Amino acid sequence: MKQILLAASAALVLSAASVSAADVSPAVVFDMGGKFDKSFNEGVFNGVEKFKAETGISYREFEVTNETQREQALRRMAQRGADPVVGVGFAQGPAMEKVAKEFPDTRFTIIDMVVDLPNVQSVVFKEQEGSFLVGVLAAAASQNAKVGFVGGMDIPLIRKFACGYEQGAKHANADIEIIQNMTGTTPAAWNNPSKGGELAKGQFDRGVDVIYAAAGATGVGVYQAAKDNGKFAIGVDSNQNYLHPGTMLTSMLKRVDVAAYNAFKGAQDGTWKPGIQVLGLAEGGIDWAVDEHNKSLITSDMQTMMDQVKADIISGKISVHDYMSDNSCSY
Amino acid sequence: MTGSNGGIPRWVDVGLIPLINILMAFFVSGLIILLIGEDPIEAVGILLYGAFGTDYGIGYTLYYTTNFIFTGLAVAVAFHAGLFNIGGEGQAYIGGLGVGLVLLSLDSSLPLILLVPISILASALFGAAWAYIPAYLQAYRGSHIVITTIMFNFIASALMVYLLVNVLIQPGQMSPQSREFADTSWLPFMHEVFAWFGMSITRSPLNLSIFWALICCALVWAFIWRTRWGYEIRTVGFNETAAVYAGINPKKIVILAMCVSGGLAGFVGLNEILGVHHRLLLNFQLGYGFAGIAVALMGRNHPIGIILASLLFGTLYQGGAELSFDMPKVTREMVEVVQGLVILFSGALALMIKPTVERIYVVVAAIAAGRRSTVEG
Amino acid sequence: MIAIELRGINKSFGPVHANKDVALNIDKGTIHGIIGENGAGKSTLMSILYGFYEADSGDVLINGEVTRIRSSHEAIAAGIGMVHQHFMLVDPFSVVENVMLGAEGGALLDKGIDKTREELERLKREYGLEVPVDSLAGDLPVGLQQRVEILKALYRGAQILILDEPTGVLTPQETDQLFRILKALKDQGVTVILITHKLQEIMAVTDGVSVMRGGEMVAHRKTSETSKEELAELMVGRKVLLKVDKEAAQPQEAALKVEGLSVIGADGVARLDNVSLSVRRGEIVGVAGVSGNGQSELLAALSGIVAPSKGKIALNGTTITREKPLDASEFRDLGVAHVPEDRHRMGLVTAFTADESAILGYHRDEAYNGAILMKRNAIVEDCAQKMADFDVRPPNPKLKSANFSGGNQQKIVLAREMAQKPNVLLVGQPTRGVDIGAIEYIHKNLVAMRDAGAAVLLVSVELEEIMSLSDRILVMFEGRIVGEVDAKDANERMLGLMMANANPETDPNGKAQAAGDMQEGAEL
């Protein structure tokens, strides 16, 4: 046992030495989706890759495969002297809470969740605002006054997306009909494009002509179905307009890449601050995407209306209800 | 007719052949690791050091082992009755629900000493109840148990999501989790237990559940091989016609074996909910139920074998995680490939090398005997 | 000319020396019998000849040339064909398809089928082997299935045909037909090796006979120069009583009464059709019949394995009907012991140790159980006692049931059932696959049970066994009892005809059929 402890402490000393050698030794713990989920985790991955490209500082990474590994991975990173440690996703909240207490000198950043500790930076997004915006656009683009929503796994976060979308669509057209489907109740729902495609076709058959998908990799199937049926789809998290130019109406941007990049960069610059960062439209953490792939689909009227709504949300003239504030979508 | 397994000692069958299978799996894994440009020897070193090199690593290894023992025993008991319980996953999930409901309603009103037996009972009852339905459908309606237990995994999952998203969720909270139980109701971690005796070890999720797992091994052994219920279960498993001849009702045995099996799987909930997470959450059971099939297969459905196989799987889980920490090229998918190879070689291909090994053994034994006799002569 | 010569064949499995220095000469165009008890090494020797095993040492000479046979392909190439005890036919395939299986001659079947038809036509002409070539193999009666197996071997060019226990599943009439075919094959120059344990068949059909015991060839005889008694003695190594020695029965009151019992299968077919019988204490009632005519269902219904569909069973003051069925353990409580026909599938659990098999069905008895745990020592001691009483070898309660020879397995089952001192003893095929020494022992014990006052119902397809053991004989056909004779008046020909439901006294299809119709009419 003594030898083992000795070896362990030697490892700690070694890693401590490596901390002083470089300015920062950042680390990121991806969640179960994996870093190539074309969505949330991949956004973070893009952000930290950008950091690596700019600064030349490499980072440690880990992809968790079960519930218990979250805590293990965060602790392992801290033990190895990583700083800051970025945790991706709300599911890492409880684990980070424990580990951050054990390592008060290590800086932690958690994305999509609030952990109230002096050494933790919590970055959360007002997804309802972005969803509201694309809801407005969906209603404007819909010929049949029917818009659809396809969610991934049925959890409060996704209902938050759905609720914001619903409010936006109703804001643009009070009589609009909104059809919602969740893909499933297990994590597999994040990665089931064929089911996503079927749900989308089902909604198209019922007259829907614009679908907003907040479903991770399942969304890919929704976008494909929209293209095959000549209907519109709206992407989520990262800019997915490029996937099918002409039928991707827009994407709701949740700039997790920016959040991750800022965490690393801030730690390097010394501007990293603990506390809660709520990123919404006003902070540029949430937005809707217009680029060369969907420019032709956005009429000037739409553009004007969207700019107006966006300004109203930022100014507080429109307040968007957050599903998670009371676990219901009553507004 | 003289069979071909005459004269092969038991240690070859239960010791040598599994060992060769594992080594073959590691060999193929090594080739893959070589292919992606890492050093396989170093990788094995990291894996073993990660699993056993530190008290922290040992803690995690044994924590995983605990879960595998429960699901491995569950699969084994069903298997003795000739049933293939694929539903360990769902039974573990619902077993955890049982623990969670007990704790959510009683955590601050009862002392730990009472909560533990109630939780054990609740996890067993909930797991057993979840296995009872497929068992009933198999026994009295002829629906195949493999199909129904798999379906019940999905139903369990849907039920848990519904409950956690809509009913049990802690309000104002982002992820679908219940509130945390009062800390007086937590099953002590092993590092806490060691601290009682003045010994300090690194914290890990390993908790007292592992002792319950070992007790369950002894109980399952006694149940299967030393009671008349176990006798009837094995009779049905080996030969249903003989069971009917002996006046055993196979339908009742199906129900009995599946309920015991489900109860054992339910204990995963004990380890995870009462021992580690201290709150009800989603997907804590992920993968253990299915891995239990491989564990039981490798462990030859015997508790001793199951303990060893569980330890192997615990090592792979923990060592594998350390491997992806230290060798970024070895992604978690790679680790899964290694685990898959071990399952493939020791489960599906277990009998592949058996005839060869037996033949070699016979030749070696004959040579040894020949040498002995010439020495004597 | 010598077709097969074996020289100094040795084969060991671990410590078991299955064939010791075996030598054998068989002339071309003869029928040669090989007899021996189970485990004497007959099957190993034939497996070496057919390429399943390779001998450790020794030579096989086919038509005077040393030949190495390492697989069944090489055996076929050397002109050796084998008809196994359990047929290797694909039931849903037609006869033609079965015959050409493994010799299809190309990816497309058309040519193969045409060729096979021609060939079957030729074989029919030469040997008189007639089969309905387009019927499905599974639909054929056993005798014809066996003929298909023979055709398969001949189609592949077999000049040497090995038959392993070929008559076990046949009626006496079918056996006669088989023997006619074998003689026809012999006349065409085919060499036939017949493995059997039935001495009378050896005497009836073979030209020469070799006896194996303990892995060695102990004697070769010309059939015309030997006798059943001599062969039995050579097989067992001591004098054997072939006739069962018993006093006249002293029947008392009926212990088992069955009235109008029917068992109807899931397909709606009556497997047991309006059967009435009674068995008195102190008598053995034999049930003769070709296998598959309801005997199995009769035993199953009388032991509680299947519930009656109609009729009633009266036992020890209890009446069992469809509305009030009892399970097998409740039948045991009423004093019914059952030695099942198939000890592998039913009588014991081959994966269990002997002591576990020796309590099957009685495993809930207080003697073997504590409150929770079973009494290990009591169970082992009980088994050791049974093994000693019935001379089970080896007397090791911890040996796996599968590792005992057939005779010793049967003794374990008999010991278990007889130990209960039952009022009614149901016995199915007590000596199937059992060697001669054990048969003698088992028969003696059944008679002793009778004399001790048990009512014994004996089901067997061995007419010799039925005739020598029973006091009364019932004959079953298609689920019905079609005749009853006193054992003193029975002979093999008469029983054989009754088993085929051809009334011995009159026209084969006349009166017996009418009797059957009357029974059905009575039921309405």
A63–B332 C-beta distance less than 8 A: yes
Q: Is C448 left (phi over 0), alpha (psi -120 to 50) or beta?
A: alpha
Q: Give the DSSP H/E element, type plus range, for residue A150.
A: strand A146-153
Residue C505 has pLDDT above 60, yes or no: no
pLDDT-based confidence at residue C520 (cuts at 50, 70, 90): very low
Residue C247 has pLDDT above 90, yes or no: no
Residue C519 has pLDDT above 70, yes or no: no
User: What is the pLDDT, as a whole number, of residue B88?
Assistant: 96
- Please give the interface size between A and B, counted as residue pairs whose CB atoms are below 8 Å apart: 96
Listed range (A58-62, A65-69, B117-121, C446-450) with the worst mean pLDDT: A65-69
- Residues of chain A with C-beta less than 8 angstroms from the C-beta of B272: 67-68
Q: Smallest CA–CA separation between A62 and chain B, in Å?
A: 6
A68–B165 C-beta distance less than 8 A: no
Q: What is the pLDDT of residues C315-364, one digit of tens each?
A: 988 999 999 999 999 999 999 999 999 888 899 999 999 999 999 999 99
User: What is the pLDDT, as a whole number, of residue C241?
Assistant: 63
- Residues of chain B with C-beta less than 8 angstroms from the C-beta of A60: 325, 328
The ipTM assigned to this model is 0.83
Running DSSP on this structure, what letter comes out for residue C307?
A: -
Residue C515 has pLDDT above 70, yes or no: no
Q: What is the pLDDT of residues A127-156, one digit of tens each?
A: 999 999 999 999 999 999 999 999 998 888
Listed range (B364-368, C155-159, C377-381) with the worst mean pLDDT: B364-368
Residue B18 has pLDDT above 70, yes or no: yes
User: What is the pLDDT, as a whole number, of residue A155?
Assistant: 83
Listed range (A59-73, A230-244, C14-28, C505-519) with the worst mean pLDDT: C505-519
User: What is the pLDDT, as a whole number, of residue A212?
Assistant: 97
d(C-alpha A137, C-alpha A131), whole Å: 10
Residue A17 has pLDDT above 50, yes or no: no
Please report, as a single letter, which amino acid is at residue C47.
S
C349–B238 C-beta distance less than 8 A: yes
Can you give the length of chain B in residues? 377
Listed range (B157-166, C125-134, C240-249, C302-311) with the worst mean pLDDT: C240-249
User: What is the pLDDT, as a whole number, of residue C514?
Assistant: 37
User: What is the pLDDT, as a whole number, of residue A149?
Assistant: 97
Residue B217 has pLDDT above 60, yes or no: yes
Whether the CB of B80 is below 8 Å from some CB of chain A: the reply is no
Q: Which two tokens stand for residue C449?
A: 């049970």
As to burial, measured by CB atoms within 10 angstroms (0-12 exposed, 13-18 middle, 19+ buried), residue A177 is middle
Mean pLDDT, residues B114-118: 96
Q: Smallest CA–CA separation between C245 and chain B, in Å?
A: 32
Residue percentage of chain A with pLDDT more than 70: 93
Reference B335, options B348, B350, B320, B318; nearest CA is B320
Residue percentage of chain B with pLDDT more than 70: 95
Nearest to B283 among A60, A90, A187 (CB): A187
Closest chain B CA to residue C329? B247
Cis before C504 (ω within 30): no
Q: Smallest CA–CA separation between B53 and chain A, in Å?
A: 6
As to burial, measured by CB atoms within 10 angstroms (0-12 exposed, 13-18 middle, 19+ buried), residue C26 is buried
Residue C391 has pLDDT above 80, yes or no: yes
Average pLDDT along chain C: 86
Listed range (A17-21, C93-97, C352-356, C377-381) with the worst mean pLDDT: A17-21
Q: Which two tokens stand for residue B222?
A: 């006694």
d(C-alpha C102, C-alpha C157), whole Å: 13
d(C-alpha C33, C-alpha C223), whole Å: 9
Domain limits of chain C? Answer: 2-236, 254-335+422-522, 355-420
Residue C135 has pLDDT above 70, yes or no: yes
Q: Same CATH fold, C254-335+422-522 and C2-236?
A: yes
B227–C374 C-beta distance less than 8 A: yes
Reference A236, options A225, C305, A222; nearest CA is A222
d(C-alpha A79, C-alpha A106), whole Å: 9
Residue C431 has pLDDT above 50, yes or no: yes
Q: Which two tokens stand for residue A12?
A: 């700690």
DSSP reduced 3-state for A69: helix
User: What is the pLDDT, as a whole number, of residue B374?
Assistant: 58
Q: Smallest CA–CA separation between B226 and chain C, in Å?
A: 5
Question: What CATH number has the domain spanning C254-335+422-522?
Answer: 3.40.50.300
Restricting to A residues 271-290, those with a Cβ less than 8 Å away from any Cβ of B are: none
Q: What is the pLDDT of residues A28-65, one digit of tens each?
A: 999 887 888 777 888 899 999 999 999 999 999 998 88
pLDDT-based confidence at residue B123 (cuts at 50, 70, 90): very high
Per the model's pLDDT, the better-predicted residue between C342 and B149 turns out to be B149
User: What is the pLDDT, as a whole number, of residue C128?
Assistant: 77
Q: What is the CA radius of gyration of chain C?
A: 25
pLDDT-based confidence at residue C504 (cuts at 50, 70, 90): low
Check the CA dihedral C489-C491-C497-C500 and report its sign. Answer: positive
- The model's pTM is 0.79
DSSP reduced 3-state for B196: helix
Restricting to B residues 272-301, those with a Cβ less than 8 Å away from any Cβ of A are: 272, 276-277, 279, 281, 283-284, 286-287
- DSSP assignment of C333-381 equals HTTEEEE-S-IIIII--TTSBHHHHTTTT-TTSGGGB-SSBB-HHHHHH
User: What is the pLDDT, as a whole number, of residue B7?
Assistant: 54
B165–A8 C-beta distance less than 8 A: no
| C225 CB-side CA count, 13 A | 7
Q: What is the pLDDT of residues A72-118, one digit of tens each?
A: 899 989 988 999 999 998 889 888 998 999 999 999 999 988 899 99
Under a CB-based contact definition with an 8 Å cutoff, are residues C400 and C353 in contact?
Answer: yes
pLDDT-based confidence at residue A237 (cuts at 50, 70, 90): confident
For chains B and C, having 3+ Cβ pairs within 8 Å is answered yes
Average pLDDT along chain B: 89
B244–C328 C-beta distance less than 8 A: yes
d(C-alpha C362, C-alpha C422), whole Å: 13
User: What is the pLDDT, as a whole number, of residue B79?
Assistant: 96
d(C-alpha C341, C-alpha C347), whole Å: 8
Whether the CB of A49 is below 8 Å from some CB of chain B: the reply is no
User: What is the pLDDT, as a whole number, of residue A15?
Assistant: 43
b vs e for B162-196, b when ≥16 Cβ sit within 10 Å of the residue's Cβ?
ebbbeebbeeebbbbbbbbbeeebbbebbbeeeee
Domain C2-236: give its CATH superfamily: P-loop containing nucleotide triphosphate hydrolases (3.40.50.300)
Strand A210-214 versus strand A146-153 pairing type: parallel
pLDDT-based confidence at residue A19 (cuts at 50, 70, 90): very low
- Residues of chain C with C-beta less than 8 angstroms from the C-beta of B245: 303, 305, 328, 338, 340, 346-347, 360-361
Residue C99 has pLDDT above 80, yes or no: yes
Contacts of B120 by beta carbon, 8 Å cutoff, 6+ apart: B212, B267, B270
Listed range (A298-302, A326-330, B225-229) with the worst mean pLDDT: A326-330
- Residues of chain B with C-beta less than 8 angstroms from the C-beta of C13: 2-4, 6-7
Mean pLDDT, residues B276-298: 90
pLDDT-based confidence at residue C464 (cuts at 50, 70, 90): confident
Mean pLDDT, residues C358-383: 94
pLDDT-based confidence at residue B90 (cuts at 50, 70, 90): very high
Q: Smallest CA–CA separation between B211 and chain C, in Å?
A: 23
Residue B286 has pLDDT above 90, yes or no: no
Residue B6 has pLDDT above 70, yes or no: no
A60–B172 C-beta distance less than 8 A: no
Average pLDDT along chain A: 88
Contacts of A21 by beta carbon, 8 Å cutoff, 6+ apart: none
Please report, as a single letter, which amino acid is at residue C444.
K
d(C-alpha A167, C-alpha A313), whole Å: 12
Q: What is the pLDDT of residues B182-198, one digit of tens each?
A: 989 999 999 999 999 99
Neighbouring CB atoms inside 10 A of B227's CB total: 16
Q: What is the pLDDT of residues C163-204, one digit of tens each?
A: 988 887 777 778 888 999 999 999 989 999 999 877 888 899
Listed range (C362-366, C389-393, C453-457) with the worst mean pLDDT: C389-393
Check the CA dihedral A101-A102-A106-A112 and report its sign. Answer: negative
B222–C373 C-beta distance less than 8 A: yes
Q: Give the DSSP H/E element, type plus range, for residue C59.
A: strand C57-62
Distances (CA, A) of C95 to C98, C123, C138, C148, C164: 5, 14, 9, 7, 21
pLDDT-based confidence at residue C415 (cuts at 50, 70, 90): very high
pLDDT-based confidence at residue C510 (cuts at 50, 70, 90): very low
Q: Which two tokens stand for residue B13?
A: 């069958």
Nearest to A4 among B53, B161, B165 (CB): B53
Q: Which of B153, B161, B281, B331 to mutate to test the interface with A (most CBs of A within 10 A)?
A: B161
Cis before C394 (ω within 30): yes
Per the model's pLDDT, the better-predicted residue between C375 and C521 turns out to be C375
Residue A326 has pLDDT above 90, yes or no: no
User: What is the pLDDT, as a whole number, of residue B375?
Assistant: 53
User: What is the pLDDT, as a whole number, of residue B48?
Assistant: 92
